[in-house]
Amino acid sequence: MQKKIQTIFKEKFGKEGTLYASAGRINLIGEHTDYNGGFVFPGAIDKEIMAEIAPNGTETVRVFSIDINEYVEFGLNEEDAPSQQWARYIFGICREIIKRGGKVHGFDAVFAGNVPLGAGLSSSAALESCFAFALNDLFNGNTIDKFDLARIGQSTEHNYCGVNCGIMDQFASVFGKKDNLMRLDCRSMEFEYFPFKADGYQLVLLDSKVKHALVDSPYNKRRQSCERVAKLLGVKTLRDATMEMLNEHRSDMTAEDYFRAKYVIAEKQRVLDVCDALVKGDLETVGKKMYETHEGLSKDYEVSCVELDYLNDIAKECGVTGSRIMGGGFGGCTINLVRNNLYDKFIETAKRKFAEKYGHEPVVIPVVISDGAHKVEA
């Protein structure tokens, strides 16, 4: 990928630039916890976006996307927004830096990536943080704080791409560190690295390729349940609620709200338990917690679907250490923690059984926890 980018950059712009990269991410555990002030536990992966970039001395940005095979030019003023979706991510990063008082001038860029699109690995955050990191280095002497780089990516999604996302994806992509997961406290925004050296294990995603289109936004309904219960319990978010408080007030709420809150409160604790287990090198407990999360997402939070439950069942039957839905639910991937000696059998079984039932194989995406945004030595 690097060679190809360099060749094409030279061909198009007749010079050399600087190489930057940033990564997609997984989230090991901590789902639907962000908007409840809880914890998430993501890490950057070995699937990335790489760009070669050089200032061009003008106020025009010229970018070529290798994967989409498209060239776009745009100015840096608000009215210059390009219409191509992929270019809007880059335009948005430029604008958000400028809005915050940072500097951006014209540049030439060529980029490519291998983060699967729309598979729940956040290729968009990889793209955003690659450019945010690069423009911080090229035009701002790295004076923009790393958290702000993540916020610049998040605001790009909000203001230029119509996606009202949280901060986790961009955070993971910016702060990601090889062999480390990061526990982010979504209430205080403090975070901590936890070494994740899964010797003897492999992390693998199975993309069901299923996306259920849903009537009336179930996401907003989940949020509303959480907010109602928090209010009833007299806390700001469910982060501050305990299972005892919830059970004490069980008769004051609907059964549905009760189970939604029960999942969130349990999930908060599971993230902490997983971190403790990791510190002890106890990956079997990590896996057990992943299954509990799946169960909670499926039965209490009700954001699973038959295809993901089936992939989870197959994992269990094969003796896989841990497996759960990754992401918001209603389709997408499962994330699986698999002992090396079971890996081949699990993948073969999952492909075969899933295809027998649903007519197509899940897409297998092995991942390794890697560095997030960084400069690449040419």
Q: Which of the listed partners (ligand ADP, Mg ion, none) does 68 bind, with a CB threshold of 5 to 8 Å by partner kind?
A: ligand ADP
User: Can you give the C-alpha Rg of the chain in angstroms?
Assistant: 21
Helix and strand numbers (H, E) in the chain are 11, 13
Number of residues lying near ligand ADP (CB under 6 A): 18
Assigned token pair, 187: 């209430």
Q: Which of the listed partners (Mg ion, ligand ADP, none) does 322 bind, with a CB threshold of 5 to 8 Å by partner kind?
A: none
The answer to whether the beta carbons of residues 193 and 182 sit under 8 Å apart is: yes
| Helix (H), strand (E) at residue 281 | none
Q: How far is the CB of 85 from Mg ion (least distance, A)?
A: 11
- Decide: is 86 part of the binding site for ligand ADP (CB under 6 A): yes
Nearer to Mg ion, 124 or 136 (CB): 124
How many angstroms separate the CA atoms of 76 and 62, rounded? 11
Q: Which stretch binds Mg ion (CB under 5 A): 122-130, 180-188, 200-208, 295-303?
A: 122-130
- Decide: is 4 part of the binding site for ligand ADP (CB under 6 A): no
Neighbours of 248 (CB within 10 A): 11
Beta-strand (E) ranges in the chain? Answer: 18-27, 39-40, 42-55, 60-65, 70-75, 107-113, 180-185, 191-195, 201-211, 322-326, 331-339, 363-367, 374-376
- Decide: is 281 part of the binding site for ligand ADP (CB under 6 A): no
Segment 110-139, which members bind ligand ADP (CB under 6 A)? 112-113, 115, 117-118, 120-124, 127
Q: Which of 34, 108, 148, 169 is catalytic?
A: 169
For residues 342-369, b (16+ Cβ closer than 10 Å) or e, as one string?
bbeebbebbbebbeeebeebbeebebeb
Kindly tell me which residue out of 46, 67, 240, 309 binds ligand ADP, with binding defined by CB under 6 A.
67
How many angstroms separate the CA atoms of 47 and 67, rounded? 14
- Decide: is 224 part of the binding site for ligand ADP (CB under 6 A): no
- Decide: is 65 part of the binding site for ligand ADP (CB under 6 A): yes
**Which residue number has the CB closest to ligand ADP?**
113
**Which residue number has the CB closest to Mg ion?**
124
Q: How far is the CB of 284 from ligand ADP (least distance, A)?
A: 30
- Decide: is 124 part of the binding site for Mg ion (CB under 5 A): yes
- Decide: is 21 part of the binding site for ligand ADP (CB under 6 A): no
- Decide: is 210 part of the binding site for ligand ADP (CB under 6 A): no
**Distances in whole angstroms, Cα of residue 34 to Cα of each of 38, 224, 273, 359:** 6, 14, 17, 35
Q: Which of the listed partners (Mg ion, ligand ADP, none) does 293 bind, with a CB threshold of 5 to 8 Å by partner kind?
A: none
Q: Which stretch binds ligand ADP (CB under 6 A): 60-68, 184-192, 253-261, 354-362?
A: 60-68
- Decide: is 64 part of the binding site for ligand ADP (CB under 6 A): no
Assigned token pair, 368: 């390794």
Number of residues lying near Mg ion (CB under 5 A): 2
Torsion over CA: 44, 49, 55, 60 (sign):
negative
- Decide: is 333 part of the binding site for ligand ADP (CB under 6 A): no
67 is catalytic: no
**Distances in whole angstroms, Cα of residue 344 to Cα of each of 232, 284, 310:** 49, 19, 18
Q: How far is the CB of 130 from ligand ADP (least distance, A)?
A: 10
How many angstroms separate the CA atoms of 58 and 243, rounded? 59
Query: Among all residues, which ones are annotated catalytic?
Result: 169
The residues that touch Mg ion, with contacts defined as CB under 5 A, are 122, 124
The residues that touch ligand ADP, with contacts defined as CB under 6 A, are 49, 65, 67-68, 85-86, 89, 112-113, 115, 117-118, 120-124, 127
